[in-house]
């Protein structure tokens, strides 16, 4: 099982929206059982990133942890939602 951490500035509002859209997209593609999600803020990212395979963030940041980072801004704006989900699946090789 692959682990995805979804992060935003405060770890509450935008990461919740992004997480739900990502979960829905993974479910629609039959990939929901292949992933586990964690939600956090950018400030808490250093203490929560361990053991994860991918970071999806709705804010600037998230790099420097040795795992891929994908911008999840499209999950918030609604522009490019499918591309973000496709990028996550491709990056994790699901």
* Total number of domains constituting the chain: 1
pTM, rounded to two decimals: 0.94
The per-residue pLDDT for 62 is 87
- CA–CA distances in Å: residue 79 to residues 67, 74, 83, 90: 25, 5, 9, 19
Could you tell me the CATH number of the domain that includes residue 88?
Answer: 3.40.50.2300
CB-based burial label for 30 (10 Å; 0-12, 13-18, 19+) = exposed
Residue-number span of the structural domain to which 30 is assigned:
2-92
CA angle 88, 93, 94 (to 5 degrees): 80
Q: What does the pLDDT look like over 28-68, one tens digit per residue?
A: 999 999 999 999 999 999 999 999 999 999 998 888 999 99
- Active-site residues, by number, are 8
The per-residue pLDDT for 73 is 94
For residues 87 and 70, is the Cβ–Cβ distance under 8 A? yes
């Amino acid at each position: 099982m692959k682990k995805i951490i979804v992060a935003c500035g405060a770890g509450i509002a935008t990461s919740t929206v992004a997480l739900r859209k990502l979960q829905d997209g993974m479910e629609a593609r039959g990939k929901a059982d292949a992933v586990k999600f964690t939600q956090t803020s950018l400030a808490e990212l250093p203490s929560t990133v361990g053991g994860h395979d991918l970071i999806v963030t709705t804010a600037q940041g998230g790099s420097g942890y040795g795992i891929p980072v994908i911008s999840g801004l499209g999950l918030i704006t609604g522009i490019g939602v499918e591309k973000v989900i496709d990028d996550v699946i491709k990056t994790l090789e699901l």
